[in-house]
Structure 1
Amino acid sequence: MRPSQRPGSRRDLAERPPHGAQREISREVGCTEGRMPTGEQLLAETEQLKKALERRPIVDMARGVLMAAWSCTAEEAWQILVHVSQHSNTKVHDVAKALIATTQGEPLPARVEEHLPAALARWRASRDG
């Protein structure tokens, strides 16, 4: 065995992450108890990220609809969408799709229509107060 291949050699030490770095890396990639995620966990996370990227433009368009209709900021539009989503037990993406559909003459679903006025009233109160 060559000296550079022995455990504890400079080469071996250079290839290892510094003390505590492995734990930090593990936390960053979603590991629990210092264990690296399984391939299955990484695939599931990848799928979630793909869905999020597909849905993001729809949510952004709905924010734009609210911003144009109510002269609110992007953050305020987001808060309105979240409020309606939480109180109507509807995913933000579905609330966003429903709002966008209204620009094409579609009616809002009843559960969204029921909670949108309350979200707008709450936004107005926070803006005026």
Structure 2
Amino acid sequence: MLLQEIAQLRTALERRPVIDMARGVLMALWSCSADDAWGVLVNVSQHSNTKLYDIAEAVLATLRGEPMPVPLQPHLATAGDRLHAH
């Protein structure tokens, strides 16, 4: 059990920079706070049944010219619309 917990913590530490970079991209794109960008990622994760890390990777991939995966597009658009409706 302890080894499993250590492995999970290592994975979290490895993935955190990717998630933080994706938050930064959303903050720059949508002129929002870090908390708002986090909320967008969480919202998209919950509504698309996709791991938050995978969404973060997809956001970063768009910086390399890759398209946002089609299943995520409407969820990200909706989350962005909600963010700007406030």
Question: By percentage of residues, which structure has more helix?
Answer: 2
Structure 1 residues 24-44: Cα deviation after superposition (integer angstroms, max 9, x where no partner): xxxxxxxxxxxxxxxxx1111
Residue in 1 that maps onto 2:36: 76
CA–CA separation in structure 2 for the residues paired with 1:51 and 1:124: 33
- Which of the numbers 20, 26, 30 marks the counterpart of 1:60? 20
Structure 1 residues 1-36: Cα deviation after superposition (integer angstroms, max 9, x where no partner): xxxxxxxxxxxxxxxxxxxxxxxxxxxxxxxxxxxx
- Percent sequence identity is 58
Kindly indicate whether residue 49 of structure 2 is the aligned counterpart of residue 99 of structure 1.
no
Instruction: Give the TM-score, by structure 2 length.
Output: 0.97
CA–CA separation in structure 2 for the residues paired with 1:116 and 1:77: 11
Quote the offset at 1:58 in angstroms: 0.1
Quote the offset at 1:70 in angstroms: 0.5
SS in 2 for 1:111: coil
Aligned length, in residue pairs: 86
CA–CA separation in structure 2 for the residues paired with 1:122 and 1:68: 17
CA–CA separation in structure 1 for the residues paired with 2:71 and 2:9: 28
Quote the offset at 1:112 in angstroms: 1.0
Residue in 2 that maps onto 1:46: 6
For structure 2, the 5+ residue unaligned runs are: none
User: Which of structure 1's runs of 4+ aligned residues deviate more than 4 A?
Assistant: none
Residue in 1 that maps onto 2:69: 109
Residue type of the alignment partner of 1:62: A
CA–CA separation in structure 1 for the residues paired with 2:74 and 2:27: 20
Which structure carries more relative contact order (alpha carbon 8 Å, separation 6+)? 2
Residue type of the alignment partner of 1:90: T
Structure index of larger Rg: 1
